[in-house]
Chain A
Amino acid sequence: SQQGEEDPQALSIQEGENATMNCSYKTSINNLQWYRQNSGRGLVHLILIRSNEREKHSGRLRVTLDTSKKSSSLLITASRAADTASYFCATDGDTDKLIFGTGTRLQVFP
């Protein structure tokens, strides 16, 4: 079964707007990762946040983690058309493998 569930399933915004995606998971984790997948391509790692961290930044990306709520959010600021992709969270949970969520499809219109 899926460990992570992203919300919303799909998101459409205009260039320049911010995009926020959420991930909820079920078990305790050591770290949570976010990946991007462009159409027809493999997944690309964006950022990793550890369970003892609450917020992390990388360029226009901001990730938050709330372990008490078992949730994380990915914020993309000042979005661009090139940010159009699917975004997945992945958690290690109580297993020795990453479990990927169902993904959020982001469409950024120019």
Chain B
Amino acid sequence: DAGVIQSPRHEVTEMGQEVTLRCKPISGHDYLFWYRQTMMRGLELLIYFNNNVPIDDSGMPEDRFSAKMPNASFSTLKIQPSEPRDSAVYFCASSLRLSTDTQYFGPGTRLTVL
């Protein structure tokens, strides 16, 4: 298996623009997680899905953030409109059977909002 795949790897955009981050989890994994990592706040869980259903979105910072998982092999995290404070590395991860199982992380998307 290729592991968790994320795209794009780098995104530079201007404030106010819409940003869409994409993730393909490991095949057969029931859980998918979106994290954000910054120097100031460390690694934060934004939202996670179980079998394509959002379970906990309490970490989503505000209404500008939304996430979807239309099928078992694809998820998106959208920011609209983007702001400079959204600049961070966004990781997608997946786990096999439990939300607290070993998590497998993608390479991340480094987002810069100017």
In angstroms, Cα B99 to Cα A90, docked, is 12
In this complex, the interface size class of chain B, counting residues with CB under 8 Å from chain A, is 10 to 19
Identify A45's interface contact among B56, B99, B103, CB under 8 A. Answer: B103
The interface centre, meaning the residue of A33, A100, A101 with most chain B CB atoms within 10 A of its CB, is A100
Nearest CB on B from A18, distance (A): 25
Which of A19-27, A36-44, A72-80 has 4 or more CB atoms under 8 Å from chain B? A36-44
Decide if B65 is an interface residue (CB 8 Å cutoff).
Answer: no
Number of A residues near B (Cβ < 8 Å) is: 22
Decide if B4 is an interface residue (CB 8 Å cutoff).
Answer: yes
Mask of A55-66 contacts with B, CB within 8 angstroms, 1/0: 000000000000
A30 with B107: CB separation less than 8 A: no
Decide if A28 is an interface residue (CB 8 Å cutoff).
Answer: no
Majority SS of interface residues in chain A?
A: loop
**Known contacts A41-B108, A42-B4, A43-B91: A98-B103 contact under CB 8 Å:** yes
User: Interface on B for A, CB 8 Å cutoff?
Assistant: 4, 33, 42-43, 45, 48, 55-56, 91, 93, 99-100, 102-108
Q: Which 4 A-B pairs have the closest CB atoms?
A: A42-B105, A92-B100, A43-B105, A100-B43
Cβ contacts A to B, 14 pairs, < 8 Å? A30-B100, A42-B93, A42-B105, A43-B43, A43-B91, A44-B105, A88-B43, A96-B55, A96-B56, A96-B99, A97-B45, A98-B100, A98-B103, A100-B43
